[in-house]
Amino acid sequence: MTKGTILVVDDDEFVLDTTSTLLEFFGYSVIQAKNGIEALSKYRDKKPGLVFLDVKMPKMDGYDTFFELTKENPNAKVIFMTAHADYSKWEEAKKRQALDLIEKPYSAEKLKKLTEKHYPKK
């Protein structure tokens, strides 16, 4: 039995696979998406308890994905990931209840702590 479902969204295959593998090791079921459009579709379909969302992606960046997602579900639990220190829309995202922003590369320990802190309690 898993602890719950997490959606990981990143256009970088290595980050996507590494983050997913770690979360699965921590006991979660993982859904993957490679861009914002795919993420919105998978979120609607699977309703994960937590989302790790890359900021910089083609087609639809993480911030625009987040704003679209929170229009539909204001209680969506989202943690942003960035390697580019793009804080351009971070303040607006925080106002809409974005949980956190972590910089890549991050440690397995940091990922575990954030997941345990923010995954909805049953």
- What domains lie within the chain, and their CATH numbers? 5-118 (3.40.50.2300)
Checking if the pLDDT of 85 tops 80, the result is no
The pLDDT value given to residue 1:
81
| Residue 48, C-beta contacts closer than 8 angstroms, at least 6 positions apart | 4, 5, 6, 7, 31, 42
The pLDDT value given to residue 86:
66
Q: What is the DSSP letter of 1?
A: -
How far from chain centre, in Å, is Cα 6? Answer: 8
pTM: 0.95
The pLDDT value given to residue 87:
74
CB 12, CB 30: distance < 8 Å: no
Please compute the mean of the pLDDT values over residues 92-112 and round it to a whole number: 94
The pLDDT value given to residue 62:
95
The pLDDT value given to residue 26:
97
Q: Which residues face 81 on adjacent strands?
A: 54, 102
